[in-house]
Amino acid sequence: MQAITKSDFIGKDAPVAEKRPLIFTRPTAKTGLVSWLTTVDHKRIGLLYGVSSLIFFLVGGFEALLIRVQLAVPNNTFLSAQAYNELFTMHATTMIFLAVMPLSAAFFNYIMPLQIGARDVAFPRLNGFAFWVFVVGAIILNVGWFVKSGAPDVGWFGYAPLTSTAYSNQFATDMSTDLWVMGLQVLGVSSIVGSLNFIVTIINLRAPGMTMMRLPVFTWMTLITAFLIVLSFPAITIALVALMMDRSFGTSFFEVSNGGLPILWQHLFWIFGHPEVYILILPAMGIISEILPTFSRKPLFGYPIIVFSGAVIGLLGFGVWSHHMFTTGMGTMATAAFSVATMAIAVPTGVKIFNWIGTLWGGQLQMRTPMMFALGFVWMFMMGGLSGIMHSAAPADAQQQDSYFVVAHFHYVLIGGSIFGLLAGIHYWFPLIFGRKVSEAWGKASFWVIFVGFNVTFFPMHFLGLNGMPRRTFTYDGNMGWNSANFIASVGAMILGIGMAVYFVVMLYTYFKGEKVSRDPWGARTLEWSIPNPPPEHNFSVIPTVHARDAFWYEKHHREEIDREKAQHAADEEAHGGIHMPSQSWFPILAATSILIGGLFITNHHFLGAIGGGVLLFIAVYLWAWEGPGGYHLHLDKHGNPIEPKDGHAGH
Amino acid sequence: MSSHSASGAIDHHHDATTSTGIPNKKVFMWTFLASDCMFFGALISMHVVYRIHPPAGSPDPRSIFSIELTSFSTFILLMSSLLMALAVNAIQKGNLRSTRNNLLGTIFFGLIFLACQVYEFQHFVHDRGLTLSSSLFGSTFYTLTGTHGCHVAIGVLWLILMYIRTFKPSDADQSSKPWFIMSIVHLLVFAVAVILGVYVVVDFGHQLHVPTFTIGSFLAGHLLPLIGLAASIAGLMFLGRSRGPVDFDERNAIDVESMGLYWHFVDIVWIIIFPVVYLLEYI
């Protein structure tokens, strides 16, 4: 309670705010379009992230199905080579940057502040800004579908010299690569801004008693992922800046003819790209670490080891990037070093797997839908991990490089890993967010269809790869011995597509008509389940005091002590002015819009327009600073409902 | 938010409203600077990689650099950090006058650095033939030092905005109209002064090389910009006079300190760029 009693607010707010110029009128709508456009509530921003990432997940999935239709039979002409290139580029870019990362961010936003007992993130307006900038990046990446140039087609890795103007023209026919460069730059800004916010929130906004070693594992993984984002994205930012200079201003960073080194692009890209794969998997690992103990009715086995393993994975993740480049001729010393470092990463990952098994061991397993996905995660991720260890041996990798074996490997860790974890998380936290629960029968049905479809699609790809089928080729000849495995994979992809369709239909049905549940339907252990349903805007009527690692579990078993504490804290807080809430604001979305304007002008080489976008951005940021954080105070009645009217007070 | 409810005294090294006692803004800035380290790390490595593997026909940097000028501007940037530290110290003690003076000093030194860089770039392009696309050395040199220059320019803009913020009247609401308009006017006058000042100084540097140069001919040739500069400086002095109590005191120290962290960081980056890009060439 130290935080409240020592805070600024001593209960002497100005009763009514003075008349303000229109431009600084803070929006107060709590429902309707304006309330969503101007929101600073971490839960609403989480929902916005969730909905938009699921839409892009469906788009990316549709692109994958088109790819599989093309490859179902040899010498297929369903897609042109150009369309195929666009599809595999956009499938990967969409799934990584527009589906898995923002879906993880959705959980970071919605769940993490609740898990640490906070009322919002440290910088609420900046949080809104991060989301709207993400939307801007997504628009810029996808706008190519609707204009003459077509979508980006250089692969999600954008290797030089594919991205040079010689192969990917500017203006004459094609500005798709410029859209790709600009889209990734903007998404990088969004990720870094969002992550800085999460880091400050976890470090500084923990409830009293919530020490670092009492943080739920999901929050720990959020912290580690945020650090990975903050430290790895600058590398690709610089690589993209250099590429943009090459394409627009005649430099030759990656132009071989003028002495440029294409290999430098690969190094910069993978210094970002390898931590990126841990950015994709660590959040899922955090979700699994919440679900397994809840449905095993046991505390997580080896909590500190799981946390430290996550941190070690993050740390080692920065030292293994060149295992993506074993066949580039780096020299034996470098190859051996990166090979050994890569093998070392298997150790903390294996430790995590054993800890999850240890959590299940001897537990009273409840086979609910989230648990099914979580168990599917452990098994499938492990299989992807095993083929990963095969890649870490450089001689073996030389054979597997650029073959379908690699495709099989990373889909096992990304679908069997990340996506299974995220789908499990949606099922697990659905009752918390919407107060309804998916029916067990339909939930499990969707799991089994997805599980079967996934394995039928990607398991045969191991054999395709070992038989020499290369990645990223739009068709193949009928006499290569690849026909049956490709056909099976394409059938599996359709099954997987049906499974996802079932999953989403069930989810929509549940949202409208699903079984209503009270709070804490799973008998969970962490603080997010302690709040009423639907979650109130202020999250906690009283900021909780944490006494144990499984904080809510402790609360449930020490009712009297907790009630006494809460009554005391509520009185303290009321004496200090009530619950402080952040005000909504227009400026995050306005600032993001000016980035969209400037970004599109830059990709079209209208530099006057680009400067105009920059000026708009400055104005938006200036007004943002000018209006200040704002804020108002809530007072609760004895049932925890806010009492109207709210009093406004000038910000600081 | 700082903590000052009970005693009125502010402890600048402990914020009781956060879990760690460190203000949110400071944690934010340190983390951002960690990110920026990787940013400049990648840029500097790129320059070094291409210096180690220079393509055939690369120019000799020693025939391009004017090491005396760059040493001078490096020294100026280093000294600007001293003034920045003094500004932070002053506002922590609630000394408004000293805060303003030191902010102005930091802005002035930052502008000298920027003017030197503008002059240097023009000189390299026009007299030494080094352009972005003339060689890989040009590409990496301009990208690296130009990105750093952008960081300095953003820092100067931030300093100017902070300086204007120190004039917010204590009776002004968060969004009162007169103060809003006045701050915009103040910013515009500042912008005019900065642009004209840098223009005149850079042009003065160029004219020095002209054989027929005299102070008189320089003044005559730049009458209009000089009058504008003088007028805008007069305007700044008018706007910068004290006018009653202001809403800027010890509670704002954290804002000045965050800005200082950024400024020192940008300074330190230059302290790395200068030896790596310039001095190493002379070994």
Asked if residue B37 has pLDDT above 50, the reply is: yes
Which tokens sit at A13?
């707010």
How many Cβ pairs within 8 Å bridge chains A and B?
150
What is chain B's percent helix, strand, coil content, to nearest 5?
Answer: 75, 0, 25
In the prediction, which pLDDT does A6 show? 45
Find out whether A256 and A262 touch, Cβ atoms under 8 Å.
yes
Q: Looking at the complex, does the CB of residue A248 fall below 8 Å from at least one CB of chain B?
A: no
Reduce the secondary structure of A174-197 to three states and give it as a string.
Answer: CCHHHHHHHHHHHHHHHHHHHHHH
Cα–Cα distance for residue pair A68/A493, rounded to 1 Å: 7
- Residue B1 is classified by DSSP as -
Question: B28 and A122 in contact by Cβ < 8 A?
Answer: yes
Q: State mean pLDDT over B87-112.
A: 96
Q: Looking at the complex, does the CB of residue B2 fall below 8 Å from at least one CB of chain A?
A: yes
Q: How many helices (H) does chain A have, and how many strands (E)?
A: 21, 5
Question: A264 and B46 in contact by Cβ < 8 A?
Answer: yes
For the ranges A1-10, A302-311, A343-352, B204-213, the lowest mean pLDDT is seen at A1-10
Closest of B254, A238, A644 to residue A246, by C-alpha: A238
Question: B19 and A203 in contact by Cβ < 8 A?
Answer: yes
Q: Looking at the complex, does the CB of residue B244 fall below 8 Å from at least one CB of chain A?
A: no
- Residue A582 is classified by DSSP as P
Question: B174 and A628 in contact by Cβ < 8 A?
Answer: yes
Which tokens sit at B34?
């960690």
Q: Looking at the complex, does the CB of residue A253 fall below 8 Å from at least one CB of chain B?
A: yes
Residue B175: φ, ψ to 5°: -140, 35
Residue among A238, A583, A626, A632 with most chain B CBs within 10 A, to mutate:
A238
In the prediction, which pLDDT does A575 show? 82
Tell me how crowded residue B275 is: count the other CB atoms within 10 A of its CB. 12
B42 interaction partners in chain A (CB closer than 8 Å):
234-235, 237-239, 268, 271
Question: B139 and A627 in contact by Cβ < 8 A?
Answer: no
Closest of B127, B111, B128 to residue B195, by C-alpha: B111
Mean of pLDDT over chain A: 91
CA distance A20 to chain B (A): 6
How far CA A452 is from CA of A455, B160, B174, in Å, comes to 5, 62, 60
Question: A234 and B35 in contact by Cβ < 8 A?
Answer: yes
Closest CB to B34 among A230, A245, A651: A230
Residue B83 CB contacts under 8 Å (≥ 6 apart), including other chains: B102, B105, B106, B109
Q: Looking at the complex, does the CB of residue B177 fall below 8 Å from at least one CB of chain A?
A: yes
B175 interaction partners in chain A (CB closer than 8 Å):
20-21, 23-24, 626-627
Q: Helices A369-392 & A332-360, crossing angle to 10 degrees? A: 160
Instruction: Give the residue from chain B lying closest to A268, CA to CA.
Output: B42
Closest CB to A122 among B24, B174, B177: B24
Residue burial B234-254, b: 16+ Cβ < 10 Å; e: rest: ebbeebbeeeeebbbbbbbbb
Question: B136 and A260 in contact by Cβ < 8 A?
Answer: yes
Give just the sign of the alpha carbon dihedral B51, B55, B56, B59. Answer: negative
Q: State mean pLDDT over B25-46.
A: 96
Model pLDDT for residues A264-309, shown as the tens digit of each residue:
999 999 999 999 999 999 999 999 999 999 999 999 999 999 999 9
Cα–Cα distance for residue pair A237/A243, rounded to 1 Å: 10
What ipTM is given for this predicted complex? 0.92
Asked if residue A3 has pLDDT above 80, the reply is: no
In the prediction, which pLDDT does A27 show? 84
Cα–Cα distance for residue pair A118/A20, rounded to 1 Å: 31
Q: Looking at the complex, does the CB of residue B174 fall below 8 Å from at least one CB of chain A?
A: yes
Asked if residue B42 has pLDDT above 70, the reply is: yes
A630 interaction partners in chain B (CB closer than 8 Å):
174
Q: Which amino acid is at A439?
A: S
Tell me how crowded residue B69 is: count the other CB atoms within 10 A of its CB. 15
CA distance A489 to chain B (A): 41
Assess whether A278 carries a catalytic annotation. yes
Assess whether A274 carries a catalytic annotation. yes
- Residue A298 is classified by DSSP as S
Which tokens sit at A263?
């290999």
Cα–Cα distance for residue pair A53/A50, rounded to 1 Å: 5
Tell me how crowded residue A74 is: count the other CB atoms within 10 A of its CB. 15
Helix boundaries (H) for A72-148: 81-93, 101-115, 124-142
Q: State mean pLDDT over A212-228.
A: 97
Assess whether A276 carries a catalytic annotation. yes
In the prediction, which pLDDT does A172 show? 55
Instruction: From the candidates A26, A43, A274, A427, give the one annotated as an active-site residue.
Output: A274
- Window 12-51 of B: residues touching A by CB (8 A cutoff) are 16-20, 22, 24, 27-28, 31-32, 34-36, 38-39, 41-43, 46, 49-50
Cα–Cα distance for residue pair B250/B253, rounded to 1 Å: 5
In the prediction, which pLDDT does A7 show? 47
Which tokens sit at A279?
């950015």
Asked if residue B244 has pLDDT above 90, the reply is: no
CA–CA–CA angle A537, A538, A541 (5° rounding):
130
In the prediction, which pLDDT does A650 show? 41
The answer to whether the peptide bond before residue A645 is cis (omega within 30 degrees of 0) is yes
A8 interaction partners in chain B (CB closer than 8 Å):
1-5, 17
Model pLDDT for residues A371-394, shown as the tens digit of each residue:
999 999 999 999 999 999 999 999
First to last CA, chain B: 50
Find out whether A11 and A579 touch, Cβ atoms under 8 Å.
no
Q: Looking at the complex, does the CB of residue A212 fall below 8 Å from at least one CB of chain B?
A: no
B182 interaction partners in chain A (CB closer than 8 Å):
none
Which tokens sit at B204?
């003065």
Residue A79 CB contacts under 8 Å (≥ 6 apart), including other chains: A66, A67, A69, A70, A87, A474
CA distance A319 to chain B (A): 14
CA distance A651 to chain B (A): 7
Asked if residue A60 has pLDDT above 60, the reply is: yes
Given the structure tokens 């504490």, which residue do they identify? Answer: A565
Model pLDDT for residues A485-515, shown as the tens digit of each residue:
999 999 999 999 999 999 999 999 999 999 9
Q: Looking at the complex, does the CB of residue A231 fall below 8 Å from at least one CB of chain B?
A: yes
Which tokens sit at A274?
């390898």
Q: Looking at the complex, does the CB of residue B7 fall below 8 Å from at least one CB of chain A?
A: no
pTM given for the model? 0.93
Closest of A616, A504, A593 to residue A135, by C-alpha: A593
- Window 455-494 of A: residues touching B by CB (8 A cutoff) are none
Closest CB to B175 among A6, A241, A627: A627
Query: Binning pLDDT at 50, 70 and 90, where does residue A173 land?
Result: low
